[in-house]
Structure 1
Amino acid sequence: MCLFQYEDDPEPEERVPAGPLYVPVLPGRAEVVVRLFRTPLGARTAVGFTSAERLAATLGAGHSWIRLSESALRTMAEPVGASLLTVDPTLTAPAVSGTAAGTAAGTATTPVPQAPETVARTA
């Protein structure tokens, strides 16, 4: 019986760096403010996307973003209580009907993650 060892295979629980991320920021500010979100259970999480297309598909076209490394995003988020990092999240809530949302009949709105919170500011 021959056993093979693959020393370069990471263990499933090992965190592998995600690389440079597209990180959502709050628009319309003089400084850049990174957005934080909440998980379905209410925990604060920093969010990053592996492409601008994935960010736009989740948060909408034209959403402001900056590029940050995973470690930089974690360093910025941890002091304000966001020890989690969610990469490429998708929204799973169904669209709200137009009449229930108070919009014109026949239209639907796409829910977005909970209200953003300030993580860090850069000039």
Structure 2
Amino acid sequence: MTDILCGEDPEPSDRFPAGPLFVPVRPGPSGCAARLFRTPLGDRTAVAFTSVRNLTSTLGPDQAWIRLAEPALRALTEPLGVTGLTLDPRFAAPAAAPVVPVAPVMSLRIA
């Protein structure tokens, strides 16, 4: 098997579409909108999953989703300045928990 290289670039020159993807969405003013996330470096990225099982195990069973092809997702997010696409991410952040107020510590003064 021969890799097609472009100039001095060590990576293959052609990107192959990922196929039908499951894209998390949120409600918007005119229907639903693709949810955008941030990479660990803070860059905005579109996120998609290759199966419903991967999506629900990462974002939970209540996460709404639509099915899109990779070129359609890229065309949807490119006008927003989002050019990255992350497939099947595994989030490392702990689940958000409600903050429980802590009672103030009272100091005793001994005379």
TM range (shorter): 0.7 to 0.9
Greater Rg over alpha carbons, structure: 2
- List alignment gaps of at least 5 residues for structure 1: 1-5, 104-123
User: Counterpart of 1:83?
Assistant: 83
1 or 2 for the larger relative contact order (CA 8 Å, sep ≥6)? Answer: 1
- List alignment gaps of at least 5 residues for structure 2: 101-111
Q: CA RMSD in A?
A: 2.3
TM-score (norm 1): 0.66
TM-score (norm 2): 0.72
Q: Percent sequence identity over matched residues?
A: 54
User: Counterpart of 2:54?
Assistant: 54
- What number of residue pairs does the alignment pair up? 94
Correspondences of 1:15-54 after superposition (within 5 Å): 15-27=15-27, 31-54=31-54
Distance 1:62 1:10 in 2: 42
The structure 1 segments of at least 4 consecutive aligned residues displaced by more than 4 Å after TM superposition are 9-12
Q: Check 1:10–1:89 CA distance in 2 against 1; reply closer, same or farther (3 A cut).
A: farther
More strand by share: 2
